[in-house]
Amino acid sequence: MRRQLAARLAQSLIVVIIVTTISFFVIRSAPGDPFSYESSTITPAIRQHWREQFGYDKPLPTQFVRYVVSVAHGELGYSFQMHEPVSEALATAVPRTLLLTGISLALSFVIGVIIGVLQATHSGGWFDRLSSAVLLFFYSLPDFWGALMILLMFAYWWPVLPAGNIVDPVLHGYMGGWDAFVDRARHLVLPVLSFTLLTMAGITRYQRAAMLETLPMDFIRTARAKGLSERRIIWRHALRNALTPMVALLGLMLPALLGGALFVEKVFAWPGMGLLAAGAIAARDYDLVTATVIVGSVMVVIGNLLADLLHLAIDPRVRE
């Protein structure tokens, strides 16, 4: 198992390197560069001067070698759009995205698993049918539209919660400790709600399927024969088995989650990584784009690794 983990890690690192390389060349081969989008009052001569200053006039392979060397030194470059070093732009944006996705993922996983188990154990009953129908509806919602509707409902029609941003842009600076925390939490509710609802639907579907597959197995009958309580059989014996594929699914879902995060961030003006990357691409902010690609793929790799470790913890069979 340990060797497999190492192999998997090596493979993931190769993927990170390849993805970074491709994104480096792709963004530079697209029309325009960071300076084509600066104010029109700047003369072509000055633009050319800037290009030379940052080495963007050099042939691509030379630029690539320079970039690799600087990344190896831990230097991710300068963001022209944000007017700050790339590392600082990322340091503000990444935790915001992690906060949003982390809370939502944890919530949707816990709720999804519970609902999935209840559906499977009462398969065919009213709860199963009702919740399956409702969840299929959420499952079919496009990310951004679901988020928009939640925004419309809770921020405009029934304005109980703020519509966007991470804190109140005007008042937050004047708030005391507790008020500031409440303000932050209030701004989290709607994005987290949207993200959780949209992610939960898929998780529940899989959990229900995995559980239905586990329940007829022999060891469940054995547990029943031993006289264990039904609750113990379902929540300890069966769930533990049915969770294994879920953990692997979690790893597989990560790339898509990053995509989903972008839409939620866009709708709720949540200035996280997705928005940062989208803005950087549009502005041809070379270094920032490449850096977000690196960070994003590393996040996926780490997530997969965590999923593997979790799998190892749950399932003794893979421990060899």
Rank residues 233 and 262 by Cβ distance to another protein and give the closer one. Answer: 262
Rank residues 187 and 311 by Cβ distance to another protein and give the closer one. Answer: 311
Give per-residue burial for 57-66: e unless 16+ CB within 10 Å, then b: eeeeeebeee
Write down the least CB distance from residue 23 to another protein, Å. Answer: 7
* Cα 259–Cα 253–Cα 72 angle in degrees, nearest 5: 70
Quote the radius of gyration of the chain (alpha carbons, Å): 24
Write down the least CB distance from residue 4 to another protein, Å. Answer: 3
Give per-residue burial for 187-197: e unless 16+ CB within 10 Å, then b: bbebbbbbbbb
Rank residues 12 and 75 by Cβ distance to another protein and give the closer one. Answer: 12
Write down the least CB distance from residue 175 to another protein, Å. Answer: 26
CA 231 to the chain's CA centroid: 34
Dist. CA 244–CA 225, nearest whole Å: 24
Rank residues 228 and 249 by Cβ distance to another protein and give the closer one. Answer: 249
Rank residues 77 and 119 by Cβ distance to another protein and give the closer one. Answer: 119
Tell me which DSSP letter residue 149 carries: H
Confirm if 112 and 203 have CB atoms less than 8 A apart: yes
Write down the least CB distance from residue 141 to another protein, Å. Answer: 6
What backbone torsions phi and psi does residue 85 show, to the nearest 5 degrees? Answer: -60, 145
Residues listed for the chain: 320
Rank residues 226 and 317 by Cβ distance to another protein and give the closer one. Answer: 317
Write down the least CB distance from residue 73 to another protein, Å. Answer: 26
Dist. CA 117–CA 234, nearest whole Å: 8
Dist. CA 18–CA 71, nearest whole Å: 15
Rank residues 15 and 110 by Cβ distance to another protein and give the closer one. Answer: 15
Write down the least CB distance from residue 240 to another protein, Å. Answer: 11
Confirm if 137 and 149 have CB atoms less than 8 A apart: no
- 3-state secondary structure at position 216: coil
Write down the least CB distance from residue 95 to another protein, Å. Answer: 19
Which residues are CB-neighbours of 235 under 8 A, at least 6 positions away?
117
